[in-house]
Amino acid sequence: MNYEEALSYIHGSSGVFCKPGLERIGELCCALGNPQDGMKFIHVAGTNGKGSTSAMLANILKESGYKVGLYTSPYIYRFNERIQINGEPIPDTTLAALTDKIAPVVSEMKDKPTEFELITAIAFEHFKRETCDVIVLEVGMGGRFDSTNIIRRPLLSVITGIALDHVAFLGDTVEKIAFEKAGIIKDNAPVLYGGCDEAALGVIGKIASERGSTLYTVDHSKIRDTSLGLCGGSFSFGEWKDVNLSLLGTYQFKNAAAVLSAVEILRKGGLNIDTGAVYRGIEGTKWRARFEIIQREPTVIFDGAHNAEGVGVATESIKSYYPSGRVAIFSGVLRDKDYRAIAKSISEVAAVAFTVTPSNPRALSAEEYAEVLSEYGVSAFPCGSVREAIARGLRYATEKGVPLCCLGSLYTYSEVIDALEGLK
């Protein structure tokens, strides 16, 4: 099996990307000898901020001398990004070999694993073979029945925050969603909650207490001396002074504060994390599609915020970086998101918007999306392709001297990059 054949197999193995439940991943991993057992994990769940938080934690641990596995989803530009060791994506040949090994096991299963479960098993096998010291494991969706939750007692469970998303699977209230995400809490294993919602904290606290797990929270009032700039920022948090951040977006201060809180817990748990490694790790973290400047002159910013809360904090960042005027927006969204709330947030910063239909069966059409944005007072223009929308957005941004900000779906990232390259 070569790389292309492996990807084809992974994407078509069951016809289902995600179906909550631990039975299939349990059977698959058992047949593989349970590669996840015996490894050390930091398990990260939450509605928003999981990727950035996971990336910072992984980079800090790498800077401390550990061999660090990182499992995230979805990928941004290339599939292999989902499975990394010390910042290096899994090699094509390794992915093909592991898929080839797992395929016969899958063929014997009556209830076939989903695509996400298959990828999770491949990641476990890769990390085991490469003898990773620590693995930062990001939940795909929810927590309680997510395939990553097959792991046993982690070093730390992190819940970054709770908001309404994936309501068809996780529930239609903050409390229901918090219950699902708190499912990653294991007996006598510490848990850190980085969010602000008191209702969610109540649910998480109850489950932590039932499982004998110490619950820590992030004191956001200790964030101070924040400095913003399009080349990076800095802040202080508690005893941590003048921490430099390469990641842009005002929301990254809270993510980084959660990371610093996690470091203290991990130190108590026995990990040797050097103070200098913390500063280097946070400053050196690169994470695509999170308020990322992907072009200058004119400035083009991509933020993969894909739900109402995420777009809300992204637009707050736009206001902070560009307080004097409105911007051009490129956007595509999925129909199962709260696209009206997304449109309302966008209307607070948009002078004009160019909409597209993301390459996803759950996509809201560019025409429908433009109509909704128009209802909120935005001059919105549906476009037939990402290239057309980017071309029109660049013309507007150049003429008006404003940035073009891309929001609403991670699924458009690679197409936006390709469009910018093609228009040079």
Place of tokens 């209230």: 173
> Per residue in 233-249, pLDDT tens?
999 999 999 999 999 99
Distance, first Cα to last Cα, the chain: 37
Q: Report the mean per-residue pLDDT for the chain.
A: 93
pLDDT, tens digit, for every residue of 339-354? 999 999 999 999 999 9
pTM of the model: 0.93
What domains sit in the chain, N to C, each tagged with a CATH number? 3-284 (3.40.1190.10), 292-422 (3.90.190.20)
pLDDT digits (tens, 9 = 90+) for 92-124: 999 999 999 999 999 999 999 999 999 999 999
pLDDT by residue (tens digit) across 10-53? 998 766 656 778 999 999 999 999 999 999 999 999 988 899 99
Q: Which residues pair with 193 in a beta bridge?
A: 159, 217
The pLDDT of residue 309 is above 70? yes
Tokens in use for 177?
């969603």
SS (H, E, C) 28-52: HHHHCCCCCCCCCEEEEECCCCHHH
User: Per-residue confidence at 361, pLDDT binned at 50, 70, 90?
Assistant: confident
At residue 15, the pLDDT reads 62
| CA distance readout (Å), 129 to 16, 65, 124, 320 | 27, 19, 9, 45
pLDDT at 324: 85
Q: How confident is the model at residue 163 (pLDDT cuts 50, 70, 90)?
A: low
160: its two tokens: 């970054």
User: Residues 251-299: pLDDT tens digits?
Assistant: 999 999 999 999 999 999 999 999 999 999 999 999 999 999 999 999 9
Nearest one of 292, 222, 223, 218 to 253, comparing CA atoms: 223
pLDDT at site 301: 97
Q: What is the pLDDT of residue 169?
A: 47
